[in-house]
Structure 1
Amino acid sequence: MATILCYGDSLTWGRIPNGGRYPKHLCWPTLLNDLLGHQHQVINFGLPGRTTIWNDPFLEGRNGLSYLQAALETFGPVDILILMLGTNDLKRHFHVGAYEAAKGVEKLIEKSRMPNDNGFPAPTLVIVAPPNILSPTGSVAESFDGAIEKSQYFHQYYQDIASKNQCIFLNAAGVLQPCEVDGVHLDTQGNEHLANAIYPLIKDRI
């Protein structure tokens, strides 16, 4: 049995555009588990608002780097770690872009490969460049003001980081786009597309 840890934000957690949470069976980690088979364990460890490395002054405990080691030990040994973070880095109060988000992902890669007291081997890493942000509307409009253009560069910088660090790479923007309801989060079809895109990248590695 393989353990696959999906470490992300609300796009992994299952935020319904403009409010609420999808039932677990509609979220992409569960759909991925269905594809891989239930002899394997796919863990949804998404958290709304999570960033790569930034402390959010308005939301407690959202720094992804601070909690990654604890997650790896809690669920370990983890065979495959899927990282899809960076969307929240583009919120206007952080004043950073896709380049800085990618560098944040690189810090997460480094953290995941550090020796640990339990002797767990480093997981195989899948880096997912988040989907491009469309026109943010509703409750996310103000937070993501200016993020549309920044998100166009996710693919470029994330692919560079993944290649440099010998990680599996997926450009989510190549297989889906956010729901037009709020321009940031995924609809059920987007969740399906993401699970279907990740599956062939890892099915022969477990």
Structure 2
Amino acid sequence: MATILCYGDSLTWGRVPNGGRYPKHLRWPTMLNDLLGQQHQVINFGLPGRTTIWNDPFLEGRNGLAYLQAALETFGPVDILILMLGTNDLKRHFHIGAYEAAKGVEKLIEKSRIPNTHDFPVPTLVVIAPPNILSPTGSMAESFDGAIEKSQHFHQYYQDIAIRNQCIFLNAAGVLQPSDVDGVHLDTQANEQLANSIYSLIKMEI
């Protein structure tokens, strides 16, 4: 039995584009678990607003680096760690781009490989470049002002980080796009497309 930990933001958590949360069976980690079989455990540890390494002045506890070690110990031993973070890094109050988001992911990779007191083995890492941001609407528009162009560079920088750190890589923008409803979050079809793509990458790893 393999334990797969999905460490992400609202795209992993299951945010509905116009607000609310999808029921469990419509979130991509659950769909991935269905594809892998119930003898394996896929854990959805997404949190809306989570960043790679940044403290959000408006949302408490969203620094992904600060909670990763605790997550790995809580759910460990983890066989596969899936990292899909960076979308929230592009919120305008952080004043950073895809390059800095990718460097944040690299810090998460390094953290996941630090020896622990439980002698848990180092997990296999899957790095996912988040989907491109479309035209944000409603409350998303102000938060992600300027993020559309920045998000188009996720693929390049995340792939570089994944190769350098010997991680499995997936470019989400190559298989899906966010919903037109808010330009950021995933519809049910995109959740299914993401689950299928990850399954193809990791089915031989377990």
- Sort the TM-score into its range (normalised by shorter chain): over 0.9
Q: Which residue of 2 aligns with 1:7?
A: 7
Task: Work out the percentage of aligned pairs sharing the same amino acid.
Answer: 88
Instruction: State the shift of 1:154 in Å.
Output: 0.1
- Structure 2 length-normalised TM: 1.00
Which SS does the other structure have where 2:93 is aligned?
Answer: coil
- Structure 1 length-normalised TM: 1.00
For 2:132 and 2:27, locate their aligned partners in 1 and report how far apart those are by CA, in whole Å.
Answer: 19
For 1:57 and 1:24, locate their aligned partners in 2 and report how far apart those are by CA, in whole Å.
Answer: 30
Q: Which residue of 1 aligns with 2:115?
A: 115
Kindly tell me the number of residue pairs found equivalent between the two proteins.
206
Which SS does the other structure have where 1:141 is aligned?
Answer: helix
- Which digits, 9 at most, give the CA deviation of each residue in 1:141-176, with x for residues without a partner? 100000000000000000000000000000000000
Instruction: State the shift of 1:138 in Å.
Output: 1.1
Q: Which residue of 1 aligns with 2:144?
A: 144
For 2:51 and 2:4, locate their aligned partners in 1 and report how far apart those are by CA, in whole Å.
Answer: 20
For 1:111 and 1:64, locate their aligned partners in 2 and report how far apart those are by CA, in whole Å.
Answer: 11
For 2:141 and 2:26, locate their aligned partners in 1 and report how far apart those are by CA, in whole Å.
Answer: 25
Does the Cα contact within 8 Å between 1:12 and 1:29 map onto a contact in 2?
yes
Which SS does the other structure have where 2:92 is aligned?
Answer: coil
For 1:39 and 1:123, locate their aligned partners in 2 and report how far apart those are by CA, in whole Å.
Answer: 18
Q: Which residue of 2 aligns with 1:82?
A: 82
Pairing 1:16-35 to 2, within 5 Å after superposition = 16-35=16-35
Q: Which residue of 2 aligns with 1:160?
A: 160
For 2:200 and 2:131, locate their aligned partners in 1 and report how far apart those are by CA, in whole Å.
Answer: 19
Structure 1 unmatched ranges of 5 or more: none
Instruction: State the shift of 1:18 in Å.
Output: 2.3
For 1:138 and 1:27, locate their aligned partners in 2 and report how far apart those are by CA, in whole Å.
Answer: 23
Which SS does the other structure have where 1:44 is aligned?
Answer: strand
For 2:20 and 2:173, locate their aligned partners in 1 and report how far apart those are by CA, in whole Å.
Answer: 23
Structure 2 unmatched ranges of 5 or more: none
Q: Which residue of 2 aligns with 1:203?
A: 203
User: Does 2:172 align with 1:172?
Assistant: yes
| CA RMSD, Structure 1 to Structure 2 (Å) | 0.3
Q: Which residue of 1 aligns with 2:133?
A: 133
For 1:138 and 1:7, locate their aligned partners in 2 and report how far apart those are by CA, in whole Å.
Answer: 26
